[in-house]
């Protein structure tokens, strides 16, 4: 019943083409535009925060995991490599980890954990170097919440 009254009031005001009708229209238009702008700003802010968290996790992998993982790979300690991979998977938003062992000029998959996808939003491949020699590679990847 109230909705009918509101619509009939709007029709009455519109038919008079009064100042109040124009003012109401401007208020509705401005509030809608402002709501859309604020929503867009919030989405961009959240996206940048998510990317920042993932980049921080990747930097942590680079500073904390590469050398111990290269040593474990050199010593062929698969149990220790598995523990290190689990540590990486526990970092914020990591979804896939793959270790390749370098044998001559080829890379042989050694251990992987997580779900492989055709396309990841953020990924990075690291060389695992032991005493100046590349003994393997580490690939880490993630998909942002909701995708890009």
d(CA 66, CA 61): 7
DSSP for residue 96? E
Structure tokens at 52: 């920042």
Per-residue pLDDT reduced to its tens digit, 93-141: 889 999 999 888 888 899 999 988 888 889 999 999 999 999 999 999 9
Res. 4: pLDDT tops 90 = no
d(CA 79, CA 77): 6
pLDDT of residue 148: 46
Per-residue pLDDT reduced to its tens digit, 21-59: 788 889 999 999 999 999 999 999 999 998 898 898 899
DSSP for residue 118? S
pLDDT of residue 39: 97
CB count in 10 Å sphere of residue 11: 10
Instruction: Spell out the alpha helix ranges (H) of 65-140.
Output: 66-74, 78-89
Res. 17: pLDDT tops 80 = no
pLDDT of residue 10: 64
pLDDT of residue 25: 86
Residue 12 vs residue 71, higher pLDDT: 71
pLDDT of residue 36: 96
DSSP-assigned states of every residue in 37-74: HHHHHHHHHHHHHHHHHHHHHHHHHHHHTHHHHHHHHH
């Amino acid at each position: 019943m109230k909705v009918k009254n509101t619509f009939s009031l709007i029709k009455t005001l519109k038919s008079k083409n009064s100042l109040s009708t124009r003012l109401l229209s401007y208020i509705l238009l401005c509030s809608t535009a402002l709501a859309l702008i604020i929503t867009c700003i919030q989405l961009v802010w959240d996206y940048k925060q998510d990317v920042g968290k993932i980049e921080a996790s990747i930097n942590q992998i680079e500073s904390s995991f590469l050398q111990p993982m290269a040593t474990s790979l050199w010593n062929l300690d698969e149990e220790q490599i598995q523990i290190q991979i689990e540590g990486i998977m526990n970092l914020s938003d990591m979804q896939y980890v793959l270790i390749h062992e370098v044998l001559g000029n080829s890379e042989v998959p050694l251990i992987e954990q997580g779900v492989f996808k055709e396309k990841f939003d953020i990924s990075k491949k690291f060389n695992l170097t032991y005493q100046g020699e590349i003994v393997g590679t580490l690939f880490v990847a993630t998909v942002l919440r909701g995708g890009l």
